[in-house]
Amino acid sequence: MMLNWRVLLPAALLLSACATAPKAPAVKPQASGNKDVAEYRRHLEEAYAAVVEHETTPVDAPEVDVEAAASIEIPEHRTIRSALDYFTTGLRDSIQTSLVRSARYKKLIDKALSERRLPKGLAYLPVIESAYLPTLTSRAGAHGIWQFMPETAREYGLRVDWWVDERADPAASTLAAAEYLEDLYRQFGDWPLALAAYNAGPGRISRALSRTGARNFWELIDMAAIPRETRAYVPTFFATLLIASDPDSFGFRLGDPQDADEAEVAIDGPVSLKYIAEVASVDDGRLQELNPALRRGIVPPGTVRVRVPSGAVEVIAERGTTLKNDDPNIAVCSFRLRRGDTIAELARAIGTKASTIAEMNGLASPSRLRTGDSIYLPVRARELGSLLSHWKDKKYFYAVQKGDTIYSIAKRHNLSVTELRDLNDLRKSARLQHGQRLRVAPPRTVTAGGG
């Protein structure tokens, strides 16, 4: 059964508007005595007078999202009512905060949904995904306001690497989410099933339907044929949509959709957001907030469009191609490989992991590097020379001798076995080689974003 919101919503709006007008005293007619009758008439006349006095007074109607309610039919199901009850009691504060935060992204999301002719109600899916927190990461590794897993994000065109994670970019991830939701609806032809697939994956939902013969999501619930999280996920979305469509009736409020005071400017990287903020005299934290996809606080190599406060566009644009040459603190530099250099040895020399260097350079196979190739290293240029010069300094490195063990080397240099392994990114199964150089003293810690 579907609730007829086209009928119920106007009534709800009328009731909520009336509720904001001055209230007449609650009275009850008495059965005995002329005095009681006179008192009742007096109260009734006061109530009439109050209605007439305010009949032309404009009343501020609460913010509601009628379009969202009308865009997806809301089923009548016990699980939705249960979710609604929980949202209006135990999770009230969290849901309210999320609904207010949604205002910042509402216009952006509505635009993306409209372009693909998707239901406006989907704009409230992040309420139960992320509370509209761009940098939120789940225990499973899903990230951003739409909680994409890395593989799905890349499949839908989002960049996810050492430098950038566009799952945290509200604009880019919203476009990807709209395309993904469109694909899921095309596959299942039903929004409850499409939403279940968004949560659990389309393969799992397809297999559950085939295995059970169920015809819809609600039958899958009754059979407990899908994970518990997914059985709760779809009802909580519809509970959220009920609240958004008539928040005042449930004791909530929506924020007014906002126009962002920001613009994009092209910048050549690598350069730190901290330095850009200094040049433009804007708050460093504000710049980080506008660019949550820049994982290290660094504009990556190449030309990248960076969001900045509107008032800072001109000053940043003037130096967009030269900022990278002037940043004194960025802890990233380019390095041309010399004969005999390896990623593993460079990592030990600067005190990082070989996997970090491989990731920041997009190297699936570091062994393919050749002498003369240029790579990026996570260290300040002014410190790199000093760190590399320590490579043969016995204070920092030790050459493995015949008969040495991890334990004996660690003990000789006042380290624990764990510390020695961490300094050299050694697995427990790693075997030492004669002449192998191990770091035995930590380098000075630096951060990739400078500072």
Find where tokens 């789940």 sit: 138
- Neighbouring-strand partners of residue 299: 271
Q: 326-337: b or e for each residue (b if 16 or more CB lie within 10 Å)?
A: ebeebbbeebeb
Q: Is the peptide bond before 58 cis (omega within 30 degrees of 0)?
A: no
Q: What is the DSSP track for 273-312?
A: HHHHHHHHT--HHHHHHH-TTBTTSEEEEEEEEEEEEGGG
User: Which residue among 39, 53, 115, 129 is the active-site one?
Assistant: 129
Please classify residue 192 by burial: count the beta carbons closer than 10 Å to its beta carbon, then call 0-12 exposed, 13-18 middle and 19+ buried: buried
Is 129 tagged catalytic? Answer: yes
| Distance from C-alpha of 448 to C-alpha of 451, rounded to nearest angstrom | 9
Give the single-character DSSP code of 132: T
Bridging pattern class, strands 298-309 and 262-272: antiparallel
CB 295 within 8 A of CB 162: yes
Q: How many CB atoms lie within 10 A of CB 46?
A: 13
Give the single-character DSSP code of 22: P
* CA dihedral over 412, 415, 416, 419, signed as positive or negative: negative
Longest dimension (CA), the chain: 115
Q: Phi/psi class of residue 286: alpha, beta or left (left: φ > 0; alpha: ψ in -120 to 50)?
A: alpha
Q: What is the DSSP track for 219-244?
A: HHHHTT-S-HHHHHHHHHHHHHHHHH
| Distance from C-alpha of 305 to C-alpha of 373, rounded to nearest angstrom | 27
Q: Is the peptide bond before 235 cis (omega within 30 degrees of 0)?
A: no
Nearest to 412 by CA among 400, 422, 427: 400
Catalytically active residues are 129
